Amino acid sequence: MGDDNGAELRRTLVVVSSEALWSTLTSVLQDNPGGDGIGVVLSTAGPYRVCDVTVDQWSLRLLSVALGKDSSPEAIGRALDGCFRSVGRGAVVFLLLLRGGRYTEEEEALAGVLRERFGPEVFRFLLVVSLERDTVVVVDVLDDGLLELIRLCDGRFCRVTGAPATRAELAALRAAVEQTLEENGAGGYSQEMLGEAGRRNTEDTAMGLLTEKLLRAEELQEAFRETVRQREEERGRELEALKRRQEEERKSEAEEHGRYQEKKKSLEEAVRSHAFMVQLEMNGAPDDETRKTSVILVGLSGSGKTSAMNLILRRADQRYSPRDPHPGPPEPRPATTRCLGKELHHQGQRFLLVDTPELLDEDGAENLEVVKDCLALALPGPHVVLLVFQTGRFTQGEAELLAQLPKTFGPQVLERSIVVFTRADGQTSRSVERYVADAPAALREMVRRCGSRYHGLNVGESRSALSFPQVKDLLAGVKRLVASHAGEPMASRRFSTEELRKRKERRNIEDGF
């Protein structure tokens, strides 16, 4: 094969190997005494070492550069690049030397430098030669990495087993070179290929740098997003904590305002009560209808309304004596079927107690006639409403009764109400305070809306001695409540005073008064 001028291009093999393997190769070639028409000449060309091999009428030039054991991949690449460029005219093929078929990390790194520096096309012009002299231990199985490299080189793998190299081995090496050039281009690896590889390397390097920058930018962006997310979460937690503190402060302020309002109301009631009591002491209490304190007892059947009223009537102006005879077991009392009024005097003041049947019928509708009767009998009041419940019992019917009270007596009814809890024989003796604390929420709320005014009455005969101070405290509470409203009765907007007065007169006639 020849160039454009017809002259044959010299075959040059750029040897890629360690210093030790280059020495082994030249030793194998030099050991030939010159027989069989083989000639070997060693020389140098600048920094490069040359080994010219001649067999009969053909020749090969092996060119190598010293590669330091600790040289960096960049330094090795520059050295091989310079060695290749020094060839000038000629068909260049690369030769990678191994020892005994072993593909070590050093040879693997050299193959990597070749690919990096000269591009993937270099494998089309690469021969792999294993030096296997008698003193070299040869592996039985080739490494997977070496097999992959041989595959990239299209199976170009030669062995040099003798020392010196035989004519046949050199002929095989030459044939491999010729086949490589025939299959991939007679000019061998060219400057144009190197230039293209350089351009690709530059592009790849630039792309790598760009990719690295993009990855770095993405990492920074992700780090920024994570920082923002963490700060948002932290700010969210701070806002939640601030909201909780503000809510607690508002709640505390509301509670404080509520306590202030209750205290203010209590003081106002105390002032009105004191002024009313002073007025009574100065002016006396005229014995007329307008000076009576009327009290209506409200509750369901079985709550103890009638028992409570009878107990108040018996104990109002009596004193308990241990020598009093035991009253014996109480007789069963029939359910109250109509409103009934009873008067009593206590500490110089007149009270009118009005017992009532149930204000609601079986269907939960208001019994209007009962309402009119109790309001008529309570004239000029009512001043106070006693809400009577049996201790330990709070039914759905009683809850419905509480809901009906503002409709029956007006929205101010709870401001004029006192809760009374009755206790019969056989019931638990725990305090009324403890019972209220453990009562259902609806009952506790009702007590609160009544200004937390509540009393207990022992209506059972076995605890009759306890009822004296209880009745005294209850009537004192009634007086305080009346005094806090300056003695004024509740106003009824449902019925006129004249209508109620005529109804009371009819009741008095019916009852024989």
CA 5: distance to chain centroid? 84
Model confidence at 294, pLDDT cuts 50, 70, 90, reads very high
DSSP character string of 54-107: EETTEEEEEEEE---TT--HHHHHHHHHHHHHTT-SSEEEEEEEEETTB--HHH
pLDDT of residue 208: 81
pLDDT of residue 246: 92
Mean pLDDT (the chain) is 84
Q: Which structure tokens are listed for 103?
A: 């593909």
Cβ atoms of 453 and 418 within 8 Å: the answer is: yes
Q: Which structure tokens are listed for 314?
A: 């018996």
Stretch among 35-39, 133-137, 192-196, 447-451 having the lowest mean pLDDT: 133-137
Q: What is the pLDDT of residues 205-261, one digit of tens each?
A: 788 888 888 999 999 999 999 999 999 999 999 999 999 999 999 998 888 888 888
pLDDT of residue 155: 92
Whether the CA torsion 29, 34, 38, 39 is positive or negative: it is positive
CA distance 222 to 214: 12
CA distance 293 to 342: 12
Has residue 465 got a pLDDT over 90? no
More confident residue, 96 or 292: 96
Q: Is 92 exposed, middle or buried (0-12, 13-18, 19+ CB in 10 A)?
A: buried
Has residue 265 got a pLDDT over 90? no
pLDDT of residue 145: 93
What pTM value is reported for the model? 0.46
Q: What is the pLDDT of residues 76-91, one digit of tens each?
A: 999 999 999 998 877 8
Cβ atoms of 9 and 187 within 8 Å: the answer is: yes
Q: Which structure tokens are listed for 503?
A: 């109804």
Has residue 401 got a pLDDT over 70? yes
Q: Mean of the pLDDT values across residues 171-198? A: 90
Residues of the chain with pLDDT > 90, as a percent, come to 37
Has residue 159 got a pLDDT over 50? yes
Stretch among 17-31, 200-214, 277-291, 369-383 having the lowest mean pLDDT: 277-291
Kindly give the residue spans of alpha helices, DSSP state H, lying in 341-422: 368-377, 396-409
pLDDT of residue 168: 85
Has residue 360 got a pLDDT over 90? no
More confident residue, 116 or 281: 116
CA distance 482 to 106: 111
Model confidence at 134, pLDDT cuts 50, 70, 90, reads low
CA distance 445 to 465: 31
Q: What is the pLDDT of residues 412-432, one digit of tens each?
A: 999 999 999 998 765 656 688
Has residue 366 got a pLDDT over 70? yes
Cβ atoms of 272 and 484 within 8 Å: the answer is: yes
Q: Mean of the pLDDT values across residues 171-183? A: 91
Model confidence at 297, pLDDT cuts 50, 70, 90, reads very high
Q: Mean of the pLDDT values across residues 348-365? A: 88
The secondary structure of residue 250, as a DSSP letter, is H
Has residue 467 got a pLDDT over 60? yes
